[in-house]
Chains A and B, each alone.
Chain A
Amino acid sequence: MKRSDGRKPEEVRPMEITAGVLENANGSAMVKMGRTIAIAGVFGPREMFPRRLQEFAKASLQCRYMMAPFSTDERARPGPSRRSKELTMVIRNALEPAVFLEEFPKAAIDVFIDIIQADAGTRTAAINAASVALADAGIPMRDLVSSVAVGKIDGKYVVDLAGPEEELSDCDMPVACMPREGSITLLQMDGDLSKDDVKHMVKIAKEACVKIAELQKEALRKRWFK
């Protein structure tokens, strides 16, 4: 089976990861997954404001996911939407298990992610970028977090849906995991799938995440060990 852009079913879109793309941020990364482009910047650990929200025993991981108004075919209204608020939350939940927050009590670690072009899979690109940016900032982590979405088109499982494929797919299932242990930190799905479909798709998503993690590591090596 060939996909609309000629990829094999288990093949992710051409991916480009660059660490250290911003000067002001303590850590940053740009991830391109096909035509989707995410830029993540990490600030901190730094003092948490307002102080009353400081957590006594660990740092607070604060996220913000944002889609630029020019990132889509039709202009996206600026400012937080219900969608972006939920995505901000699931992205934070996907990253948090990987970060040793207990190393920095009372501090804040801010992760800002801007989607500058959206063509399906923005949350997965956002997580891939954010995890490289956290590592780039030198924040101690258990593992990288890698993410990919899986779909099902004409009865075949396909990895990393591109924009034109979203309409064709029975479902959209974004998964994020820490590839070393294979523990799942993000799992969402909407669509129509059997129980066994879900089990199988989690497996192939994890396999794809292992490959993505290699690209993430390569980007970090390129930045820090020339």
Chain B
Amino acid sequence: MMIQNNFITKLASSNKRIDGRLFDQVRKIVVDDKIIEKAEGAALVKLGNTQVIAGVKLEVGEPFPDKPNDGVLMTSAEFSPISSPDFEQGPPRENSIELARIVDRGIRECGAIDTKKLCIEDGKKVWMVCIDINILDNFGNLIDASAMASAVALNQCVFPKYEDGKVIATEKTKKKLPVLYTAVACTFAKIGNHMLLDPNLEEEEASSCRLTLSTRDDGNLCAIQKGGTGHLSSADVEHALDVAVERGKEIRKLLK
């Protein structure tokens, strides 16, 4: 593993990547938005060999007391043991909590969902949007893949039938979830002095730290998270910002 890491670092210093991509090039993105019928919205995203499914279910529940007229967004992630020989079963660990919270923050802070329109009865009943992310195959950069899958799932999400105060989960309406924006996450791995967009598993292993930048349709930033134990210079951050805004636009087109 050590030898591999050194090799990847050495490659980076001569401006190369192990899979031949450019530093600011993402892997091939394949989106399947028809895979789950029972969910209100769902998508399988393949980012290179990484595979992630996100599903949205809509439930009716009580709003938070401080926002009585707003719908509720909940995001959780499950690192399924089928996704990697290194994942173990058990309650959510730090990694999966962080993943879910980064994706959640991107969607929430960019105002992706018009939560005001999710109110059924002021202060009593609102729609709750539950995004569940299931990792199927981990070949690196789960954050971006999960954000993409969640964005597609939200974009195609429809309301289930709601009658006499009850959700009829078996029947879907044609009414779409009010989605205003699409948040796109761009994650970089710092290897040597370079910032590599969309790191694969080997690159993640060799990196000193990670930086995720989520952008909105207008090119503004809506969430940032540094991960991992290394450190970044201001120049690293500035370069990543420039790349994330540009690539974010291109990725967003694929998700619409």
A residues within 8 Å of B by Cβ?
82-83, 85-86, 88-90, 92-93, 96-97, 171, 173, 177-178, 182-195, 197-199, 202-203, 206
Chain B residues near A178 (CB-CB < 8 A): 231
Q: Does B226 contact A (CB under 8 A)?
A: yes
Further pairs besides A86-B94, A183-B231, A206-B234: 12, Cβ < 8 Å: A93-B209, A93-B228, A184-B226, A184-B231, A188-B225, A189-B225, A190-B222, A192-B110, A192-B111, A192-B220, A195-B220, A199-B234
Interface centre among A92, A190, A191, A193 (most CB of B within 10 A): A190
Chain B residues near A88 (CB-CB < 8 A): 94
Chain B residues near A82 (CB-CB < 8 A): 92, 97, 100-101
Q: Does B24 contact A (CB under 8 A)?
A: no
Q: Does B202 contact A (CB under 8 A)?
A: no
**Sample (7) of A-B pairs whose CB atoms are under 8 Å apart:** A88-B94, A93-B227, A96-B229, A171-B109, A173-B224, A188-B226, A198-B224
CB closest residue in chain A, given B215:
A195
Q: Given A184-B232, A206-B234, decide whether A198 and B221 contact each other with a Cβ distance below 8 A.
A: yes
Q: Does B98 contact A (CB under 8 A)?
A: yes
Whole-angstrom distance between the alpha carbons of A96 and B230 in the complex?
Answer: 8
Segment with Cβ contacts to A, from B34-42, B45-53, B54-62, B238-246? B238-246
Chain B residues near A206 (CB-CB < 8 A): 234
Q: Does B194 contact A (CB under 8 A)?
A: no
CB contact between A199 and one of B98, B111, B222, B238 (< 8 Å): that residue? B238
| Minimum CB–CB distance for B150 against chain A, Å | 16
Chain B residues near A185 (CB-CB < 8 A): 226, 231-232
Chain B residues near A186 (CB-CB < 8 A): 226
Q: Does B219 contact A (CB under 8 A)?
A: yes
CB closest residue in chain B, given A177:
B231
Contact flags (1/0) for B143-180 with A, using CB distance below 8 Å?
00000000000000000000000000000000000000
CB closest residue in chain B, given A92:
B229
Chain A residues near B92 (CB-CB < 8 A): 82
Chain A residues near B227 (CB-CB < 8 A): 90, 93
Chain B residues near A203 (CB-CB < 8 A): 234
Check A194–B219 contact: CB distance below 8 A: yes
Whole-angstrom distance between the alpha carbons of A177 and B224 in the complex?
Answer: 16
Check B241–A195 contact: CB distance below 8 A: yes
Whole-angstrom distance between the alpha carbons of A197 and B224 in the complex?
Answer: 13
Q: Given A191-B109, A192-B222, decide whether A198 and B241 contact each other with a Cβ distance below 8 A.
A: yes
Q: Does B133 contact A (CB under 8 A)?
A: no
Whole-angstrom distance between the alpha carbons of A118 and B19 in the complex?
Answer: 47
Whole-angstrom distance between the alpha carbons of A90 and B110 in the complex?
Answer: 22
Whole-angstrom distance between the alpha carbons of A14 and B235 in the complex?
Answer: 31
Check A187–B237 contact: CB distance below 8 A: yes
Q: Given A85-B94, A88-B94, decide whether A193 and B221 contact each other with a Cβ distance below 8 A.
A: yes
| Minimum CB–CB distance for B133 against chain A, Å | 14
CB closest residue in chain B, given A85:
B97
Q: Does B216 contact A (CB under 8 A)?
A: yes
CB closest residue in chain B, given A203:
B234
Chain A residues near B27 (CB-CB < 8 A): none
Check A187–B226 contact: CB distance below 8 A: yes
| Minimum CB–CB distance for B245 against chain A, Å | 6
Whole-angstrom distance between the alpha carbons of A149 and B132 in the complex?
Answer: 30
Q: Which residues B81-119 have CB closer than 8 A to chain A?
A: 92, 94, 97-98, 100-101, 105, 108-111
Chain A residues near B238 (CB-CB < 8 A): 199
CB contact between A190 and one of B109, B231, B245 (< 8 Å): that residue? B109
Check A195–B226 contact: CB distance below 8 A: no
Whole-angstrom distance between the alpha carbons of A61 and B19 in the complex?
Answer: 33
Check A190–B223 contact: CB distance below 8 A: yes
Q: Does B14 contact A (CB under 8 A)?
A: no
| Minimum CB–CB distance for A203 against chain B, Å | 7
Chain A residues near B231 (CB-CB < 8 A): 97, 177-178, 183-185
Check B101–A86 contact: CB distance below 8 A: yes
Q: Which 3 A-B pairs have the closest CB atoms?
A: A189-B224, A183-B231, A187-B226
Check B222–A184 contact: CB distance below 8 A: no
Chain B residues near A171 (CB-CB < 8 A): 109
Chain B residues near A173 (CB-CB < 8 A): 224
CB closest residue in chain A, given B76:
A82
Chain A residues near B228 (CB-CB < 8 A): 93
